[in-house]
Amino acid sequence: MSLPILFYPEGTVGASEIFSHFRNLDVRSYPAKSPEEIEKFKPTVLIANTRLKVNRETCRAFPSVKIFATVSSGTDHVNFSDLKKESRVFINSPGSNAGSVAEYCWVSLLHFFSEEELRKKNVGIIGFGNTGKMFGKILEGKNIPYVYNDPFIKDRSVPLDEILKCAIVSLHVPLTSDGPYPTTNLLDKDKISKLKEGTLLLNTSRGEVWSEETFQTILARKDLFKVMDVFSPEPPKGKIAEQMASLENSIFTPHIAGYSQLGRLLGTYRLAEKLCILYKESPLPPLSEFLKSNQPISTETFLKEEDRNLRDSWKNQDWEYFERRRNSYPVRKDLGLSDLY
């Protein structure tokens, strides 16, 4: 009897090594941009990146797939109502890249300020989930004060207006459009106007947390420092990308904040752990067995180069560079400030 087939995107960090321990699944890879090519093999498990919208149409395009999955934490590309109606399952790896994003944010602060200067400032964190908490732990370890706003965590949460008074404002919210506290267009022009001159604004969550009009307002404010890893629409193209290409006091990167070695490897590993349970596989070796010490780039030094290369692509109207870099990103060595080790 043939085994259920699992397909994963080529380039998924650690996938070949980790999935090689499976005995009850037939594991295969596919080109990340071409998931439609695998339908003829009748896969049971389809792992894809978050660019694949998982909805009714996707379910019907892949009738054999029982489990859709991603090695990332994001779920805003998934229509869970459609999945339920189609009797399909979705699994992900929440929190796997929290340490990676938090370390990205820490290095971003050091791009503009010294540690001594940071101890005299107050950091405001919007969203205190996995990533917000991890960023907070790094700040605590460096004796840098911070406050946070999260309506789902009443303890110590401060009003959003208090966050906007901080010298540094960092966004760590999931993208939601319904429920009691939607985050789509969370920051409008009025809220942005409350940011003081010299504020550093970081967004590593989703570009849709503000409207395109609000984003234009942010870009127009030359008195703000800006660090952005996410955009809306994504990837940026045309006039707005050309505008960002020459913007001073800013860092722009192609949605790779969570793409350190640990952030990517842990996502694959946690997803594999869930599949081990579902398909009665033997327990995996420890995560440490898959970590490699020698990597081509380091979180400590990568920001300037990523920013420069992205700006150059915009100046040359190479609108596809963003996705190319994101989909073929080299393994980035972590700082080791995260307690996920």
Strand partners for 8: 29
Q: What is the SS3 string spanning 187-224?
A: CCHHHHCCCCCCCEEEECCCHHHCCHHHHHHHHHCCCC
> CA–CA separation, 19 vs 113, rounded Å?
42
Task: Give the tens place of pLDDT for each residue, 83-107.
Answer: 999 999 999 998 899 999 999 999 9
Cα–Cα–Cα angle for 70, 322, 172, nearest 5°? Answer: 55
Say whether pLDDT at 17 is over 70.
Answer: yes
Query: Catalytic: 111?
Result: no
Task: Give the tens place of pLDDT for each residue, 49-69.
Answer: 888 999 999 999 999 999 999
Say whether pLDDT at 246 is over 50.
Answer: yes
Query: Catalytic: 255?
Result: yes
Residue in 172, 206, 326, 332 annotated catalytic: 206
The predicted pLDDT at position 16 comes to 96
> CA–CA separation, 341 vs 327, rounded Å?
25
Task: Give the tens place of pLDDT for each residue, 204-216.
Answer: 999 999 999 999 9
pLDDT-based confidence at residue 339 (cuts at 50, 70, 90): low
Residue of 276, 264, 339 lying closest to 91 (CA atoms): 276
> CA–CA separation, 220 vs 293, rounded Å?
42
Task: Give the tens place of pLDDT for each residue, 124-163.
Answer: 999 999 999 999 999 999 999 999 999 999 889 999 999 9
The predicted pLDDT at position 341 comes to 42
% of the chain surpassing 90 pLDDT: 89
The predicted pLDDT at position 75 comes to 87
> CA–CA separation, 158 vs 327, rounded Å?
37
* DSSP string for 144-197: --EEEE-TT--TT---HHHHTTSSEEEE-PPP-SSSSS--TT-S-HHHHTTSPT
Query: Catalytic: 21?
Result: no
pLDDT-based confidence at residue 231 (cuts at 50, 70, 90): very high
Residue in 10, 234, 273, 300 annotated catalytic: 234
User: Which are the contacts of 35, defined by CB distance < 8 A and separation ≥ 6?
Assistant: 7, 9, 46, 48, 52
pLDDT-based confidence at residue 76 (cuts at 50, 70, 90): confident
Say whether pLDDT at 1 is over 70.
Answer: yes
CB-neighbour burial class of residue 72 (10 A; exposed 0-12, middle 13-18, buried 19+): buried
Helix (H) or strand (E) holding 13: none
Per-chain mean pLDDT for the chain: 95
Residue in 255, 264, 311, 325 annotated catalytic: 255
pTM of the model: 0.89
Task: Give the tens place of pLDDT for each residue, 172-218.
Answer: 999 999 889 999 999 999 999 999 999 999 999 999 999 999 999 99
Length of the chain: 341
